[in-house]
Chain A
Amino acid sequence: MQAGVAAHHSSSLGEKDNWALASIFAAYTISATLWLLFATAVGVLLAYKFGAPDFGAGAWLTFGRLRPIHTNATFYGWASVALVGLAYYVAARSSRISLYSVKLAWIGLVLFNVAAAAGTVALDLGYNDGNLEYREWPWPIRLIFLAALVVTAWNLIGTVARRSTDDIYLSNWYTIGGVLWTCIIALVAILPWYQHGLGQVSVSGYYMHNAVGMWFTPLALGIFYYALPRLLSRPIYSYALGVFAFWTNLVFYPIIGAHHFLFSPLPWWLQTTAIVFSVAMLVPVWGGSANFLLTMRGRVRDLAHSYPLMFILVGVIGYLVGSTQGAVEAFRSLQEVWHLTNFTVGHSHLTMYGFVTFAIWGGVYALLPFATGKEPGQLGLMLHFWMAVVGSFIYVISLSIGGTIQGLNWKNGVPFIQSVVDMQAYHVWRGVGGSLMFLSHVVFAWNVWRMTHGRTAKAAPPVALPPGEPVT
């Protein structure tokens, strides 16, 4: 990477360390962005197939092979790689130290990419590990991903262990925790001996939700806790509330997986327990969201003038609304209508996109210019932000309405095919929203290019505030 040298850091770190950190951060972001473009191009093709099922014929482009390619590339190519790049930057900066090992970080990046590329090819050739959602890659490939996680955990811990600050900044709790927990998730998912028949159903429920909630959620929250104070030059509203949310998230989240299999033959008590803790998740979600919103309180003018802050604001709202929706959705009375419909697809995009992806964008726009000394243009920021917001809004609303109609159709006993026919208009709107989202990603790629290979900015970071480390 020819990424430039961070211009603003006045810490004791040498130019060489800064350059290495900026290069790592930039390389992870670029790699992730390429996966985002690929995964969402596949997503748009999938959306198109609902209206034109004979478009893109043949085995390699068939819906059932592309669908897991879309989800896995989004999860493990885009979000995971982008979040790890951000976690490295945050760990080093908040600990006021260089990365523990630049070499390990590069090795991790290679491993992540090898896994995602091999997984994509395997799925397209029909090597799908049982259609078990988000763990469809053949297990040897998931082992490569696990190796990347172990490397990342080692490197993050090594970095924070050598910190020159007394405290461990809250962001690192979330990121280090997230990576370590996900090593366990990946291991639990790979080991085959105890996963047969109905037993595998319960493991699927556990895995599906933990891969999301104990991996993407904590890493994205880690970005909020670092980027918000940094952009606003004001400490997080309540450090203690952040710690409280950390532990409650840790204890409640792992228990809710079975809510993906409500009304299934899984033991009824397991399903009920999952519902109870789904509602308990409101505690860390509302606690965390309130913490972020209160940190932003009274700074409407800054928000309006800073796209990085706007991205983060949307991310926080996505977290609040998406997770609250998840808690409500877990009730049996509502699952009876929404389960197995497109409503769930809307929900997963509200969370993985409205929350996680916006958090990543906010973090990248807030921090990458600090690292490289290069800025994206205002027009690019504006186009990216508004197309992504409007596109995802259309996407989520259309599938939420369409999914509700589907569920009510089934409940009212009309012939099944009617639920397919009634979805047609909403499938079109999903395609419109998805296309806007994809276009915004093209602009994002351009912005990333500007932030890594563009001209070096002369002056101010995105928000006019004194450079320096966040207040810890």
Chain B
Amino acid sequence: MNKLVLIAGGSTLVYAILALAMGVLPGIVLSGRTPGPGVEPLTALQAEGREVYVANGCSYCHTQQVRPLPQDKIYGRPSAPGDFAYQTPELLGSERTGPDLTNIGVRQPSAVWQYMHLYNPRAVVPESVMPAFDWMFEVVDHAPPGVTPIPLPKAYAPAVGVVVPTYAAKALLAYLLSLKQPPLPGDAGENGSAMPAMAMRSEAAASADNAGAAASTAPAESAAPPAGNGYDAAKGQTLFTANCAACHQATGDGLPGAFPALKGNAAVNDADATTHIRVVLHGLQGANVGGVIYSSPMPPFGDTLGDADIANIINYERSSWGNHGAPVTTQQVTVERAKGK
């Protein structure tokens, strides 16, 4: 009997001590972390949306933790302990089958895009493997007053009627749009939270160059003429895919009724690139393109991308899909940025 007490009791005692030290105590200490500056609790609707997020296991494919690594800079600044004060249950996640969502409210603020993407992700990102959450929407003959039906592409729209979000979808949208990183106190410089993001970007871009000769040889093969202004077609395409294609699409056609086309777009083909540069830098609200008003806001990219990257994107747009706008230089972007909003 004594042996049993030693083995079962002794080992359990040792384990209990270790469980206290490695599980319970860190839990107690870290649970007391105070919220960082600007970190707010969720509203009732956003909190309900968070429950929808949990019930459907979104965090099995989407993390909510930005690591202090170059490859994570596209998601925002590194997560800080104070960011998680109101986050119970924690949703840091363990896999990125899809992108990190820590800052998705800033990175993709368009409700129309989010709804289309939830209804069927392939309507906006053809290569996506995310499930369709069409069961969070309903098909009605006519949208009730005050509700805008979701402008789905024909291939994804129901044959009859229009698609409107249910309460669950509205709550989930409210939660997703609430996911915004408040800037850390140290970053409140000229560019707000942009500084670390920009540093991260250029690092990532640099490592892309190092990774393969492809990045440097691609421009030569590309149809776009090297304009002698430092335009890098391959990098332009990469940046466009990462930042712009979700709305304007890889074809430059946009999505009718939701996101304007860049192909044949007046601002993109205008010899005076000022409007084009300013829209990319500062974003756009209630855009009027070719007489159509678009309700989706376009996010500003001045905070997250450097001048050279923005020039690359603009030149890519100006030289693709049959567009023939005059190329811009990094200096032009710098000048427009200096003018401010």
Q: How far is the CA of A342 from the CA of B134 in the complex (A)?
A: 27
Q: Which of B4, B8, B16, B81 lies in contact with A265, CB distance below 8 A?
A: B81
Indicate whether B220 reaches chain A with its CB closer than 8 angstroms. Answer: no
Q: How far is the CA of A188 from the CA of B32 in the complex (A)?
A: 18
Q: Cβ of B339: which chain A residues have Cβ within 8 Å of it?
A: none
The answer to whether B131 touches A63 (Cβ under 8 A) is: yes
The answer to whether A67 touches B60 (Cβ under 8 A) is: yes
Mark interface residues in B1-15 (1 if CB within 8 Å of A CB, else 0).
101100110011011
Q: Which of A51, A336, A340 lies in contact with B63, CB distance below 8 A?
A: A340
Q: Which of A180, A195, A427 lies in contact with B12, CB distance below 8 A?
A: A180
Q: Cβ of B28: which chain A residues have Cβ within 8 Å of it?
A: 194, 199
Smallest CB–CB gap between A128 and chain B, Å?
A: 6
The answer to whether B91 touches A131 (Cβ under 8 A) is: yes
The answer to whether B86 touches A64 (Cβ under 8 A) is: no
The answer to whether A196 touches B19 (Cβ under 8 A) is: no
Indicate whether A413 reaches chain B with its CB closer than 8 angstroms. Answer: yes
Interface residues of A in 315-351 (CB under 8 A from B): 336, 339-342, 344-345
Smallest CB–CB gap between B329 and chain A, Å?
A: 23
The answer to whether B11 touches A270 (Cβ under 8 A) is: no
Looking at A188, A194, A406, which has the most chain B CB atoms within 10 Å of its CB?
A: A194
Q: How far is the CA of A178 from the CA of B281 in the complex (A)?
A: 59
Given contacts A59-B56, A420-B127, contact A254 B83 (CB under 8 A): no
Q: Cβ of A65: which chain B residues have Cβ within 8 Å of it?
A: 55-57
Indicate whether B59 reaches chain A with its CB closer than 8 angstroms. Answer: yes
Smallest CB–CB gap between B182 and chain A, Å?
A: 14
Q: How far is the CA of A412 from the CA of B74 in the complex (A)?
A: 12
Q: How far is the CA of A54 from the CA of B128 in the complex (A)?
A: 11
Smallest CB–CB gap between A416 and chain B, Å?
A: 5
Indicate whether A411 reaches chain B with its CB closer than 8 angstroms. Answer: yes
Q: Cβ of A421: which chain B residues have Cβ within 8 Å of it?
A: 127
Q: Cβ of B130: which chain A residues have Cβ within 8 Å of it?
A: 53
Q: Cβ of B91: which chain A residues have Cβ within 8 Å of it?
A: 130-131
Q: Cβ of B29: which chain A residues have Cβ within 8 Å of it?
A: 199
Q: Cβ of B3: which chain A residues have Cβ within 8 Å of it?
A: 167-168
The answer to whether A200 touches B88 (Cβ under 8 A) is: yes
Q: Cβ of A54: which chain B residues have Cβ within 8 Å of it?
A: 120, 122, 131-132
Given contacts A168-B3, A415-B242, contact A62 B129 (CB under 8 A): no
Q: How far is the CA of A265 from the CA of B127 in the complex (A)?
A: 32
The answer to whether A264 touches B208 (Cβ under 8 A) is: no
Indicate whether B58 reaches chain A with its CB closer than 8 angstroms. Answer: yes
Indicate whether B221 reaches chain A with its CB closer than 8 angstroms. Answer: no
- Stretch binding the partner chain, chosen from A255-263, A300-308, A384-392: A255-263
Indicate whether B22 reaches chain A with its CB closer than 8 angstroms. Answer: yes
- Grouping DSSP codes into helix (H, G, I), strand (E, B) and loop, the A interface class, with mixed when no group exceeds half, is helix
Chain B contributes a number of interface residues (CB within 8 A of A) equal to 83
Indicate whether B142 reaches chain A with its CB closer than 8 angstroms. Answer: no
Q: Which of A50, A210, A214, A257 lies in contact with B129, CB distance below 8 A?
A: A50
Q: Cβ of A198: which chain B residues have Cβ within 8 Å of it?
A: 30-31, 33, 81, 84-85, 90
Indicate whether A58 reaches chain B with its CB closer than 8 angstroms. Answer: yes
Given contacts A131-B59, A161-B4, A168-B4, contact A251 B16 (CB under 8 A): no
The answer to whether A199 touches B26 (Cβ under 8 A) is: yes
Indicate whether B266 reaches chain A with its CB closer than 8 angstroms. Answer: no
Q: Cβ of A340: which chain B residues have Cβ within 8 Å of it?
A: 63, 93-96
Looking at B54, B58, B68, B207, which has the most chain A CB atoms within 10 Å of its CB?
A: B54
Q: Which residue of A has the minimal Cβ distance to B58?
A: A64
Q: How far is the CA of A336 from the CA of B128 in the complex (A)?
A: 24
Q: Cβ of B70: which chain A residues have Cβ within 8 Å of it?
A: 411, 413
Given contacts A63-B61, A265-B83, A412-B208, contact A157 B4 (CB under 8 A): yes
The answer to whether A344 touches B8 (Cβ under 8 A) is: no
Q: Cβ of B128: which chain A residues have Cβ within 8 Å of it?
A: 53, 417, 420
Chain A contributes a number of interface residues (CB within 8 A of B) equal to 86
Q: Cβ of B129: which chain A residues have Cβ within 8 Å of it?
A: 49-51, 53, 420, 427
The answer to whether B18 touches A254 (Cβ under 8 A) is: yes
Q: How far is the CA of A194 from the CA of B26 in the complex (A)?
A: 9
Indicate whether A176 reaches chain B with its CB closer than 8 angstroms. Answer: yes
The answer to whether B24 touches A410 (Cβ under 8 A) is: no
The answer to whether A197 touches B88 (Cβ under 8 A) is: yes
Indicate whether A439 reaches chain B with its CB closer than 8 angstroms. Answer: no
Looking at A65, A201, A339, which has the most chain B CB atoms within 10 Å of its CB?
A: A201
Q: How far is the CA of A276 from the CA of B70 in the complex (A)?
A: 25
Given contacts A161-B4, A412-B208, contact A197 B15 (CB under 8 A): no
Indicate whether A202 reaches chain B with its CB closer than 8 angstroms. Answer: yes
Indicate whether A266 reaches chain B with its CB closer than 8 angstroms. Answer: yes
Indicate whether B133 reaches chain A with its CB closer than 8 angstroms. Answer: yes
Indicate whether A377 reaches chain B with its CB closer than 8 angstroms. Answer: no
Q: Cβ of B95: which chain A residues have Cβ within 8 Å of it?
A: 340-342, 344-345
Q: How far is the CA of A210 from the CA of B128 in the complex (A)?
A: 34
Q: How far is the CA of A202 from the CA of B32 in the complex (A)?
A: 13
Q: Which residue of A has the minimal Cβ distance to B9?
A: A180
The answer to whether A197 touches B31 (Cβ under 8 A) is: yes
Q: Cβ of A254: which chain B residues have Cβ within 8 Å of it?
A: 15, 18-19, 22-23
Smallest CB–CB gap between B70 and chain A, Å?
A: 8
Smallest CB–CB gap between B75 and chain A, Å?
A: 9
Indicate whether B27 reaches chain A with its CB closer than 8 angstroms. Answer: yes
Indicate whether A290 reaches chain B with its CB closer than 8 angstroms. Answer: no
Q: Which of B7, B24, B122 lies in contact with A177, CB distance below 8 A?
A: B7
Q: How far is the CA of A204 from the CA of B242 in the complex (A)?
A: 32
Indicate whether A44 reaches chain B with its CB closer than 8 angstroms. Answer: no
Smallest CB–CB gap between B18 and chain A, Å?
A: 4
Indicate whether A160 reaches chain B with its CB closer than 8 angstroms. Answer: yes
Looking at B30, B71, B133, which has the most chain A CB atoms within 10 Å of its CB?
A: B30
Indicate whether A250 reaches chain B with its CB closer than 8 angstroms. Answer: yes
Further pairs besides A177-B15, A255-B22, A267-B30: 6, Cβ < 8 Å = A54-B122, A130-B54, A131-B54, A184-B16, A261-B65, A265-B79
28 residue pairs of the A-B complex, CB under 8 angstroms, read A53-B128, A54-B131, A63-B61, A64-B58, A65-B56, A131-B58, A176-B7, A180-B8, A194-B27, A194-B28, A197-B33, A197-B84, A197-B86, A198-B90, A199-B26, A199-B29, A203-B23, A203-B24, A204-B92, A210-B19, A257-B22, A339-B67, A413-B238, A414-B238, A415-B242, A416-B242, A417-B127, A421-B127
B interface residues (Cβ-Cβ under 8 A, vs A): 1, 3-4, 7-8, 11-12, 14-16, 18-19, 22-24, 26-33, 54-61, 63, 65, 67-71, 74, 78-81, 83-99, 120-122, 125, 127-135, 204-205, 207-208, 211-212, 238, 241-242, 245
